Amino acid sequence: MTKSSVQLTISNRLHVFRAEHRLTQEQLAKAIGVTRATIVAIEGGGYNPSLELAFRIARYFKTDINTIFSVEEEQNEKV
């Protein structure tokens, strides 16, 4: 019997939005209430923000979450 699971990979374009708005990581962090380290981790793909934080980021840039964050699905077959 095989089982199928879905692996989700979340990527983001936060660095692009930040660059377009000429913001430093520190400036964005202060504006949305997180540390610079959090912004570094999100941009580097080492940390996926909570849903609340993703909404805060999207609202800051006056766009929707899907414009900044994207999800790719990968099927994994288990035997």
Task: Give the whole-angstrom CA distance, residue 28 versus residue 10.
Answer: 20
Taking only the tens place, the pLDDT of each residue in 7-28 is 889 999 999 999 999 999 999 9
**Helical segments of the chain, H only:** 14-20, 25-32, 36-44, 51-60, 65-68
What pLDDT score does 37 carry?
Answer: 98
State the pTM of this model: 0.83
**What are the phi and psi torsion angles at 32 (to 5°)?**
-110, 5
pLDDT at 1 (0 to 100): 56
Structural domains of the chain sorted by starting position, each given as residue range(s) with its CATH number in brackets: 3-74 (1.10.260.40)
Confidence of residue 75 (pLDDT cuts 50, 70, 90): confident
